[in-house]
Amino acid sequence: MRQHKLALCKEHYLEWVPEQTDRFIKKYNMFTRDEKILVAVSGGKDSLGLWDILVRLGYQADGLYLGLGIDGGIDYSHESQRLTEKFANEHNLKLHIVDIEKEYRQSIPVLSQMTHRGHGKPCAVCGLTKRHEMNRIARDLGYDVLATGHNLDDEAAVLFGNTLSWSGEYLLRQGPVLPAGDGLARKVKPLCRFYEREMTAYCLVRGIEYIYEECPFAEGSQSIYYKELLNQLETTRPGAKLTFYLRFLEARKSGELFVEKDMEQAHLHPCPNCGQPTSAPDLCSFCRMIEKVNSVPAS
């Protein structure tokens, strides 16, 4: 790990990763051992690795898998669900499975087609649905906190995008912890300081079987392009990605970055249907999408 000027053997690496994770959990006040954690697990290396680490550290962590109905020629959703269930069974863990098609009559790609959002790609509808469902389930099942597997590469790419466009409101909301609000569960990202390759190494060394393929719709996405740019930078300047992210967190905390105007929260009110906060005048975007889809007669 050039960025830390550190090299570890297999045995010590498997200790180092959970130790570091626990340090971040405490440093950013993510949760305590008394709280119930819902880990959003996609079947990928980050979220399966996260679940494994939290359980090894003695936290009360159950899993949530969302069936998105994405095939993409590689049976993406089936395979990721199979690997998630396999992990849960092998470790005797509780996994909630929610199938979007069963809940809302249509899979993500069909919802996307029917609502004409996202220029032919389902990623916008998928992101909206995942956020809404993770929050709904965490709240309904009484979890204290929702944990996702976002790693440093994910966070640095989002930060890069938001910085290029100086999106003050998004920058303010980006961080390891998003506190609970009216209708919103607390959200945490315990892996936000690990490089993607560090999580790959953890899963390989630990023998965790995960889905290697990315979502088939991710190809050509902006976030992948930003990740490639940041990797080029990292090659010549080891540690650049980590410094970019950590300096941002410091600057944000000290209030250096933003003027008061950005600090004002957008005017939010509870959606009359689901109760989650929204800035839309009536229903939230998710409920509006479902209403639109339900108004189309079933074929």
Residues of this chain that bind ligand FES (CB under 6 A): 68, 122-123, 126, 215, 217-218
Regarding 46 and contact with ligand AMP (CB under 6 A), the answer is yes
Report the distance separating Cα 232 and Cα 235, nearest Å. 5
From the list ligand AMP, Zn ion, ligand FES, none, pick the one residue 122 interacts with, judged by a Cβ distance below 5 to 8 Å according to partner type: ligand FES
Regarding 221 and contact with Zn ion (CB under 5 A), the answer is no
If the CB atoms of residues 160 and 217 are measured against ligand FES, the closer one turns out to be: 217
Q: What DSSP character marks residue 175? A: S
Please report how close the Cβ of residue 77 comes to ligand AMP at its closest, in angstroms. 7
Regarding 148 and contact with ligand AMP (CB under 6 A), the answer is yes
Chain-centre distance for alpha carbon 186: 13
Report the distance separating Cα 243 and Cα 222, nearest Å. 22
Residue type, 280: A
Report the distance separating Cα 250 and Cα 27, nearest Å. 13
3-state secondary structure of 138: helix
If the CB atoms of residues 6 and 218 are measured against ligand FES, the closer one turns out to be: 218
Cα-Cα-Cα-Cα torsion 259, 260, 263, 269, nearest 10 degrees, comes to -140
- The contact pattern for Zn ion, residues 258-287, with x = CB under 5 A and - = no contact, is -------------x-xx---------x--x
If the CB atoms of residues 158 and 283 are measured against Zn ion, the closer one turns out to be: 283
If the CB atoms of residues 169 and 214 are measured against ligand AMP, the closer one turns out to be: 214
Please report how close the Cβ of residue 56 comes to ligand AMP at its closest, in angstroms. 17
Cα angle 90-94-95, degrees, rounded to a multiple of 5: 95
Give the total residue count for the chain: 299
- Contact 182/270 with Cβ under 8 angstroms? yes
Per DSSP (E only), the strands in 15-153 are 36-40, 60-67, 95-99, 145-147
Q: Pick the stretch among 42-50, 102-110, 193-201, 281-289 that binds ligand AMP (CB under 6 A).
A: 42-50
Query: Please, which residues have CB within 8 angstroms of residue 215's CB and are 6 or more apart in sequence?
Result: 70, 72, 76
From the list ligand AMP, ligand FES, Zn ion, none, pick the one residue 126 interacts with, judged by a Cβ distance below 5 to 8 Å according to partner type: ligand FES
Regarding 54 and contact with Zn ion (CB under 5 A), the answer is no
Among 21, 42, 174, 276, binds ligand AMP (CB under 6 A): 42
Regarding 3 and contact with Zn ion (CB under 5 A), the answer is no
If the CB atoms of residues 222 and 265 are measured against ligand AMP, the closer one turns out to be: 222
DSSP-H helix ranges across 174-211: 196-206
If the CB atoms of residues 22 and 155 are measured against ligand AMP, the closer one turns out to be: 155
If the CB atoms of residues 31 and 65 are measured against ligand AMP, the closer one turns out to be: 65
- Contact 275/183 with Cβ under 8 angstroms? yes
The site for ligand AMP (CB under 6 A) is made up of: 40-42, 46-47, 64-66, 68, 130, 148-150, 154
